Chain A
Amino acid sequence: MRRYLLRGTAILYLLVVLLGPLSMVFWRTFENGAGDAWAALTTPETIHAFKVTIVIALIAVPLNTAFGVVCALAIVRQGFPGKGIVNALVDLPLALSPVVVGLSLFLLYGQDGWFGGWLHRHDVQVLFALPAMVLVTIFVSLPFVAREVVPTLREIGDEQEQAARTLGASGWQTFWRVTLPSIRWAVVYGVVLTTARCLGEYGAVAVVSGRIEGQTETATLRVEERYQNFDLAGAYAISLVLAAIAVLVLVGMTVIKPREEAI
């Protein structure tokens, strides 16, 4: 009896909180036929917004993946002063509101900011342009790879790495041949979460982008803009694409994850 109660509660919760709203988006998108949705998706501004989102993700995800793995290795495998602080700092973006992150960029790069004057004199545009949008996206999506990799590294221990060293492998060879293969699923999962965060980021980007249609507008900003301008079909269509990407990535991961060496 209790089993069913637990399962029922879990499923009901998922239905109400996750699947309900998602299916509403789906239904609303195709309410007036697929043609409307397609038309809304293929306007130059919307296509541009998707491009901006993808460019930001293509820069932020690889950087945060590399940083996350290096950071996790440092936290788990090395003792250094301030290790606890680094460990805590990695989580900061999870705790901090994205709006605050966006505003902090104004303090650095705004006309009166620390670097702002210098950048202005050299004609480098950071705010209201791609650089600031990339910076805030990197900031908010920073913890995911490290957070996935740290527990996995702890769990596998360092004996395999030591074995590799005694067998003649250099530090670099040990990393590529032993450490990385052992943590690859944690890295993949971290990359998926990072990508999802990059595609979905709204608050921080909204603050620093200036939301210039056809220039600094990302897909999520475009949803908001369409919605404000009473183009509900457009807003729903873009939302659906974003949701579909997320679902596809998760399903893909579940399918390709092998079980051969699972213990």
Chain B
Amino acid sequence: MSIHARKISKRFGDFVALDDVSIEVQSGSLTALLGPSGSGKSTLLRIIAGLEYADQGEVLISGEDATATRPQDRNVGFVFQHYAAFKHMTVRENIAFGLKIRKRPKAEIADAVDELLQLVQLEAFGHRYPAQLSGGQRQRMALARALAPNPRVLLLDEPFGALDARVRTELREWLRRLHEAVHVTTIFVTHDQAEAMDVASQIVVMNQGRVEQVGDPTQLYDEPATEFVMQFVGEANRLGDRWVRPHDLEVVGVPVPDGVEAQIERITRYGFDARIELVSADGDPLLVQLTRELLEQLELERGQIVWVVAQRDRTFAGSGYGPA
């Protein structure tokens, strides 16, 4: 089911959380709302769920106006960062909650819960209480609970934010596969660009209550629309008013025209590539990414003075640094 949010504005006192935001999410897609804290991404998600109401604008779920609909009538699944598990209920009872509210027959509920327990790989934990589960297990339970009533859309608010790094990566992978299996329109909120790039097919980049850019991961990385997207999605260096990706910088040992003089601070090599951290003559930090092979050929060392040259750069209008 598609989701449209049109011209949404929301203030909390003097703070403008959302400023005339519009997004469109296709039926069956997996979309990330990406942005730093305070960018309005969670507020937008909560407005779609009906947990907050917009001051202006409208929300359409599969074409129907849901702007004033109460959350319980929207039929959306919502997953919270801190799980929001019903602590006094077992895992089974948690998952069955939405079905019990809908007064489904007992046998049907039991079957549905069995199926979901299998889907989230918690078959052996049905009779435990949330307090007896790990964070990752609790979040999987919360997902099963949200999916149980067959929601029209699934909304996840920083779903992996409270988990440790390894579990987070596992669950990311798992969410992607789950989405392929269930195919419910899904929006998840994250401040972690790697997470968004890894999981989502469409990313909405938000900043200060506005949408900066919408696109797939490749578009955002290769064709950032604004300075903010350039430096928030992937790594970026700033050379005056130009922006350069770390792998678009070349290091040479002798002065060259257009070269920026810099001193090597640190060299790290692991995995496929190597990284050189430098400080320019003006005192700005720079990051260069290159293959380990190339690094060996260049014979660089810490403290050395080098010149870096941009192979490909980018300028943005209105960056405040004058014309490019």
Q: B residues 92-150 with Cβ under 8 Å of A?
A: 97-98, 101-102, 129, 131, 142, 145-146, 148-149
Q: Does A169 contact B (CB under 8 A)?
A: yes
B86 touches A168 (CB 8 A): no
Q: Does A152 contact B (CB under 8 A)?
A: no
Interface contacts (Cβ under 8 Å), in number, total: 70
B149 touches A167 (CB 8 A): yes
A166 touches B49 (CB 8 A): yes
Q: Does B281 contact A (CB under 8 A)?
A: no
Complex partner residue of B72 from A156, A168, A181, CB under 8 angstroms = A168
Q: Does A263 contact B (CB under 8 A)?
A: yes
Q: Does A260 contact B (CB under 8 A)?
A: yes
A168 touches B51 (CB 8 A): no
Return chain B residues, CB-CB under 8 Å to A177: 97, 101
Complex partner residue of B101 from A160, A167, A182, CB under 8 angstroms = A167
Please measure, in the bound complex, the distance between the C-alpha atom of A160 and the C-alpha atom of B142, giving whole angstroms.
Answer: 11
A167 touches B84 (CB 8 A): no
B84 touches A260 (CB 8 A): no
Nearest chain A CB to B154 CB, angstrom units: 10
A159-189 vs B, Cβ < 8 Å mask (1 yes, 0 no): 1101111111110010001100110000000
Please measure, in the bound complex, the distance between the C-alpha atom of A261 and the C-alpha atom of B130, giving whole angstroms.
Answer: 8
Please measure, in the bound complex, the distance between the C-alpha atom of A28 and the C-alpha atom of B86, giving whole angstroms.
Answer: 51
Nearest chain B CB to A180 CB, angstrom units: 10
A163 touches B75 (CB 8 A): no
Please measure, in the bound complex, the distance between the C-alpha atom of A178 and the C-alpha atom of B74, giving whole angstroms.
Answer: 20
Main secondary structure, interface of A, reads: helix
A168-B82 contact, Cβ under 8 Å, with A160-B87, A261-B131, A263-B131: no
Please measure, in the bound complex, the distance between the C-alpha atom of A164 and the C-alpha atom of B145, giving whole angstroms.
Answer: 10
Q: Does B85 contact A (CB under 8 A)?
A: yes
B215-237 vs A, Cβ < 8 Å mask (1 yes, 0 no): 00000000000000000000000
B88 touches A182 (CB 8 A): yes
B70-81 vs A, Cβ < 8 Å mask (1 yes, 0 no): 111111111010
A167-B146 contact, Cβ under 8 Å, with A162-B80, A260-B129, A261-B131: yes
Q: B residues 15-70 with Cβ under 8 Å of A?
A: 49-51, 70
B51 touches A167 (CB 8 A): no
Return chain A residues, CB-CB under 8 Å to B84: 159-160, 162-163
Nearest chain A CB to B94 CB, angstrom units: 9
B88 touches A166 (CB 8 A): no
B86 touches A163 (CB 8 A): yes
Nearest chain B CB to A182 CB, angstrom units: 6
Nearest chain A CB to B228 CB, angstrom units: 30
Please measure, in the bound complex, the distance between the C-alpha atom of A165 and the C-alpha atom of B52, giving whole angstroms.
Answer: 12
Closest to A181 in B: B88
Nearest chain A CB to B125 CB, angstrom units: 15
Q: Which B residues contact A (CB, under 8 angstroms)?
A: 49-51, 70-78, 80, 82, 84-88, 97-98, 101-102, 129, 131, 142, 145-146, 148-149
Q: Which A residues contact B (CB, under 8 angstroms)?
A: 156, 159-160, 162-170, 173, 177-178, 181-182, 260-263
A-B contact pairs, 14 of them (CB 8 A): A159-B80, A159-B82, A159-B84, A160-B84, A160-B85, A160-B87, A164-B97, A166-B72, A167-B101, A168-B72, A168-B75, A168-B98, A169-B101, A173-B101
